[in-house]
Amino acid sequence: MNNESKSVCEQKTYEALYTSHSKTLFNFIYYKCGDGQLAEDVVQDAFIKLWKNCSKVQFDKARSFLFTVARNLFLNTVAHKKIVLQHEASPVKSITNETPEFIMEEQEFMEKLKKTIAELPEKQREVFLLSRIDKKKYSEIAEIVGISIKAVEKRMSLALISLRDKLGDI
């Protein structure tokens, strides 16, 4: 069965869409706001909206539909609020050969890195995290965010310059 003839209203097709896109959709919203519960709610609402409109959405347009709906739900939920990204604490190694000074410097650097990433402008932060954490290609990021590949490159370049300025060459 080709993609055009697949119906989003079929349970297996819908479940396959959920399996393949829910994690990236969650990360996309989480990178925008830093609120895991909000991201979870937006993902669920986006999939509910897809289900309610399944007869109107072609299978090959479902991914784009989900990201557009999620982006709009997010914007409606947090309009004009500035939210700083909160990262979960990094797991601490139980046994290590590093000196206590090295471990302390590493922890200080990780905190500074998280803070610096959180301080990036939202548009740069989401592109940076989609690229570096989710390992998305620029073309995928462009589709997810709804911008051109050139715009993704520009945002990534600005994010890297900002990180380099604040953290120095590593």
Per-domain residue ranges of the chain: 3-77, 100-167
Paired with 7 in beta bridges are: 58
Contact 54, 9 (CB under 8 A): yes
Q: What is the pTM of this model?
A: 0.55
Secondary-structure class of domain 3-77 per CATH = mainly alpha
- What's the CA gap between 170 and 168, in Å, rounded? 6
What radius of gyration do the chain's Cα atoms show? Answer: 19
Residue with tokens 């919203």: 29
- The CATH architecture assigned to 100-167 reads Orthogonal Bundle (1.10)
| pLDDT tens, the chain, 170 aa long | 555 568 888 989 999 999 999 999 999 888 887 888 889 999 999 999 999 998 898 888 899 899 888 888 887 775 534 433 444 444 445 555 677 777 777 778 778 888 888 888 888 888 988 888 888 899 988 988 889 999 999 999 999 888 888 887 55
Q: Return all residues near 49 (Cβ < 8 A) that are at least 6 apart.
A: 69
